[in-house]
Structure 1
Amino acid sequence: MIKNEFTKDGKRLILFSGGADSMALLHCMQSINQVDLVLHFNHHLRAEESDKDEQFCREYCELNKLPLEVVHLDLESARQANEGDEQLARRLRLAYLEKNYASWNIYLAHHQDDVQESFFMRAMRGANSSGLCALRPERQVGELKLIRPLLDYSREQLRQYLKENNLSWREDSSNHDADYCDRNFIRHELMPKLSILGKGLSHTLDHLAEENDYLQESAKHELSKGFTVENYTRCHKALKPRVVRLFFEESGIPYVPTQASLKRLAKECLNLPESYKDIPMGEGQELRMWNDGEISLPPQKLELLWKWQEHDSIEFAGYRFFIGASNSDESFALEQMPSELLLRMPQQGDKIQPFGKNKKVLLSKLFSDAKLSQQERCSFPVLCAGEEIIYLPGIRRAEFARLAEGHAQMRIGYERI
């Protein structure tokens, strides 16, 4: 059943719920020796039934000598405002996969019926053509490579395959409750009635997929010109959500902009900020708009402890710091240096007491004197001893730990990488 185009080089991860669809997928992949690891997510949404699903998966994999990983998800502690079970579970699954299996081929058991049901679900939510035909045979989501080799087969065909191979599966009781979620209503109430009107839906989806491919290529072309207020404002309305989504995806972030977030961005594009402004886009994501019109991601608020007695060099924010002599080093009194130094990004109101001065000055003043752009200032590495800023590489060192004659010294150098 699995076409040759879906047999990939590299490691292969099969998502296995224990249901009929994933059982068909796993068995098919087994039959062509394309299984490196099986992964089961226990969402704990159906109490004892969820645990029985897990046990079923464990027993099947043990019997067939397949390596299995089980991941328990705590949905309630991670739920965001107005986030439903299905949306939340998908977000947590993707986050786990991105953290642990970004370099793998990840196989999912979506089939022909899922494609049609998803079309109506997304249509009622106001999706564009990208959303209406989102279930593609292969798709890159952030750093994840998702593969769906069963899209040519219906739910009924997969169940027939299981019966022919004497395979059992778990039935999710919530799948039969039309009131449980939108998908079940569409599956049990809407689709049977629509089927009597004809079989043209699959052709409509093919046409949408072709048009979506064209729009995606157009969005890539627009983004290649640079993500700026001017370029974004000039984009055709149909391309704007795709440009935003592509920008996040190229940064390794799986994010789908909402109409509300796009309206917020459009409003902010009307007036450039004096320096920069962070624009909340939902799902914990932000865009940063600069006074020159450039749009970027805000610098990560990173901190890194440097145990310099154990590691004589460390990399941070495009710099390498090291202990030892160099053309760019600064000398500090060794006895005053703590065993751990802190590297972090600048924060609003940060001050340093420059070497030879008796009072502190704002970092913003030193950055301005050094003619750093706003973008460079926000990602400039700051070296601290506790809460005291002691070094801005290439700009200024602090009065902290002034070296006295005859005292042991610690020399800190840096280089751009």
Structure 2
Amino acid sequence: MTVSTAIARLNAADPDFARHLDHLLSWESVSDDAVNQRVLDIIKAVRERGDAALLEFTQRFDGVDANSIDDLILGRERLELALTRITDAQREALEKAATRVRLYHERQKQDSWQYTEADGTVLGQKVTPLDRAGLYVPGGKASYPSSVLMNAIPAKVAGVGEVVMVVPTPRGEVNELVLAAACIAGVDRVFTVGGAQAVAALAYGTESVPQVDKIVGPGNIYVATAKRHVFGQVGIDMIAGPSEILVVCDGQTDPDWIAMDLFSQAEHDEDAQAILVSPDAAFLDRVAASIDKLLPTMERAEIIEKSVNGRGALIQVRDMQQAIEVANRIAPEHLELSVADPQAWLPQIRHAGAIFMGRHTSEALGDYCAGPNHVLPTSGTARFSSPLGVYDFQKRSSIIFCSEQGASELGHTASVLARGESLTAHARSAEYRILTQGKGN
């Protein structure tokens, strides 16, 4: 197998740099009409025929030999069995990662609060966990037990009553590591279904699959399209694009380390994006050499090659200040600050899903076991989005209690504003409670 790279080289000093960067970053995740219609048909069938449609689609698309929906349900005892089927090292790694993820997310928990004003009016916020969350997990060989931990544990920390996991088992192929992760993370029920049909089942419910309040977890284009269509019926986490990494380096990190960090995201798929920004042109040359040297040693070399050649880049900037400006412009999913004093630059970082500080902090640690969530905003959405967290599984209700005096005082203000909007019933409703006016006003 012959692999080679022709990674793009950009220079921020070039007049056309902004246009070239925009082209590099462009990503269209919109489903084509055929995919869209197929997903709509699947959702309609599941809504109308429930378990029967779910079973039919699972047999057809996943090649699963199942006679009834009961064959697609895994109980808690099956998850516990998976723990005995993985190696001791795998179990220890899962448990250690789960502990770190849980400890981190426990710090995100929000409590209800109230305060009382001088006239006795009480205002506050009631924080309540979702009743039920649905977790989509890719199945087969491309299985990610780490995603199970990252999605299920925050839900459990938030206090979600039930976490329901769906995971396809193409041709009956079960991934024991995924089931073991589900056991450790506290998943309550597992259905071995996938695709748009699984999303539809979670969103609308069937005779066997309970309806959930929110669906989280990654999937293919059919899953992403289905999540788009059911949003509003249920909440969703995000519509994720391809994986991204942006490394900002001062030129002093081992170039082999940087090349492998870029590979760590490029190996996900051909559309993944790996970018290095540095003011040191000679360092960019050394990293390019490391890329060419290390690429043939990679198991997923062909995927990395297509990713690096298609969407990767080495970008030269004037100085570290401009490097940070470029990073904020890109708003990456993963940002590595591979510099001598990352803390000094941190205040200037405005847009990034996760920030990896220093030369020794590889993005891969965040994917598996550092603690923070690895479900992150992609495609520039870090400008307005955050990592998945406990707050995604909690909702907030406002609390308003007015004393007699408080209702009277606020009634004057509400009356003026309501009449200004020509909403007389609003105004009179507030005016009835003004102490200086009669009830008949």
Q: TM-score range by the shorter chain?
A: under 0.3
| TM-score, normalising length: structure 1 | 0.26
| TM-score, normalising length: structure 2 | 0.25
In terms of fraction of residues, the more helix-rich structure is 2
In terms of fraction of residues, the more strand-rich structure is 1
Rg: which structure is higher? 1
Where relative contact order (Cα < 8 A, 6+ residues apart) is larger, the structure is: 2
